[in-house]
């Protein structure tokens, strides 16, 4: 990738205020909530490590289950997804804990608390669930009032037309610099829209559907999601999708300039590179 210098390049123009205080604050509160909700959620899952469609939860026809059982090779971990069985010994079903074999769906290092304790896991989960809901409301109200969603997350028609070029650039790990780096690229915009307006609302709504107090007040939630067990299945699948998003998100933060990205999400200021440089590759 070559770069072409321009005649004017004042140092002050290198820096661009990319993220507003509310985006930064709610983003980091969300990082804490998401991590603790995932870990306490996996503790809750471990108490009954099978998911179903509909209303009933017997171990007969799970859509997904993680179990340990005895075989001629000893204790093995087995994960079954839609009747397809996978040997997941060492990670799911059976893992090692302090040098000992432990029979539990998710291993101790990904759950809160690390030992099996459903009641404590639920307390953590519900506390951070309400914090996440409050945080999401602040982000939503501010995002609408400041036109952040329409201005920064919604791609323009011209940006959508360039989606193929953007995918190729991403695969080649080419990231914009200069003025082009002031905006999220179209792949970021579409992904953030999916996360903010589809995945998080689904997490919150299915979580509320599983809460007896809420769904006795709003029974329509159970109809909407086709029963409590289906809501639980969707809650788990969306949690898994969000975890994949976070892994890709972190890889992109790393490869597209880790310090610059982190500084911008902490202080707001992003270094555009030499403003006189324009990518010509
Ligand atoms: C991104 C945020 C969240 C993640 C990653 C997450 C993850 C999980 C996971 C993995 C489970 C275990 C599934 C199961 O076995 O039942 C769970 C259960 C649950 N979650 Fe969440 N959750 C999140 C947000 C929420 C929110 C916002 C609420 C409520 C408003 C909520 C309410 C619940 C309830 C009620 C349960 C079942 C608890 C029980 O059966 O005792 N979750 N969550
Ligand atoms: C330690 C973990 C994380 C780091 C270091 C991180 C870093 C960042 C950075 C640097 C940006 C700005 C991207 C840019 O300017 O191009 C960003 C935006 C964003 N991140 Fe994260 N992130 C983390 C975790 C998460 C998690 C857990 C979620 C949600 C599950 C999330 C959701 C988002 C969203 C939705 C945006 C766009 C926000 C907006 O402009 O409204 N991030 N993140």
Per-residue confidence band for 3, with pLDDT thresholds at 50, 70 and 90: very low
Q: Please check whether residue 226 is in contact with residue 54, taking contact to mean a CB–CB distance below 8 angstroms.
A: yes
- On the question of pLDDT at 2 being above 60, the answer is no
* Pair of tokens at residue 134: 């409050």
* Average pLDDT over every residue of 188-196: 97
The span from the CA of 218 to the CA of 222, in Å, is 8
From the CB of 272, is ligand 1 less than 6 Å away? no
From the CB of 261, is ligand 2 less than 6 Å away? yes
From the CB of 265, is ligand 2 less than 6 Å away? yes
Atom of ligand 2 minimally distant from the CA of 265: 10
pLDDT tens digit string along 166-181? 999 999 989 888 888 8
Atom of ligand 2 minimally distant from the CA of 256: 16
Nearest to 279 by CA among 185, 172, 177, 187: 177
From the CB of 45, is ligand 1 less than 6 Å away? yes
From the CB of 27, is ligand 2 less than 6 Å away? yes
Rg value, the chain, Cα: 23
Cα–Cα–Cα angle for 191, 195, 197, nearest 5°?
Answer: 110
**Full-model pTM:** 0.91
Ligand 2: distance of its center to the CA of 246 in Å? 8
From the CB of 26, is ligand 2 less than 6 Å away? no
pLDDT tens digit string along 205-227? 999 999 999 989 999 999 999 99
pLDDT at 275: 47
Q: Please check whether residue 4 is in contact with residue 281, taking contact to mean a CB–CB distance below 8 angstroms.
A: no
Sign (positive/negative) of CA torsion 119, 124, 127, 130? negative
Per-residue confidence band for 184, with pLDDT thresholds at 50, 70 and 90: very high
The three-state secondary structure class of 155 is coil
pLDDT tens digit string along 108-160? 999 999 999 999 999 999 999 999 999 999 999 999 999 999 999 999 999 99
Cβ atoms < 10 Å from Cβ of 63: 18
When comparing pLDDT for 65 and 72, which is higher?
65
């Amino acid at each position: 990738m070559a770069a072409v210098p321009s005649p004017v390049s004042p140092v002050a123009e290198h820096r661009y205020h990319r993220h507003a205080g509310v985006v930064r604050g709610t983003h980091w509160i969300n990082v804490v909530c998401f991590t603790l909700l995932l870990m306490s959620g996996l503790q809750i899952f471990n108490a009954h490590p099978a998911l179903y469609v509909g209303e009933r939860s017997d171990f007969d026809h799970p859509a997904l289950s993680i179990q340990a059982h005895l075989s001629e090779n000893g204790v093995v971990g087995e994960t079954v997804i839609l009747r397809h069985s996978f040997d997941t010994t060492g990670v799911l079903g059976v893992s090692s804990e302090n040098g000992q074999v432990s029979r539990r769906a998710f291993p101790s290092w990904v759950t809160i608390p690390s030992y099996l304790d459903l009641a404590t896991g639920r307390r953590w989960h519900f506390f951070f669930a309400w914090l996440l809901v409050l945080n999401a409301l602040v982000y939503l109200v501010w995002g609408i009032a400041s036109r952040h969603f329409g201005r920064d997350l919604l791609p323009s028609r011209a940006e959508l037309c360039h989606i193929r070029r953007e995918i190729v650039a991403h695969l080649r790990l080419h990231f914009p610099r200069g003025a082009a780096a002031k905006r999220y690229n179209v792949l970021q915009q579409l992904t953030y829209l999916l996360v903010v307006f589809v995945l998080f609302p689904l997490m919150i709504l299915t979580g509320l559907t599983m809460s007896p107090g809420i769904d006795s007040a709003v029974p329509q939630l159970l109809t909407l999601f086709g029963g409590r067990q289906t809501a639980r299945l969707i809650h788990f699948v969306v949690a898994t999708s969000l975890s994949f998003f976070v892994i890709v998100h972190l890889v992109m933060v790393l490869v597209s300039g880790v310090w610059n990205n982190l500084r911008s999400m902490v202080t707001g200021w992003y270094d555009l590179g030499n403003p006189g440089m324009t990518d010509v590759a």
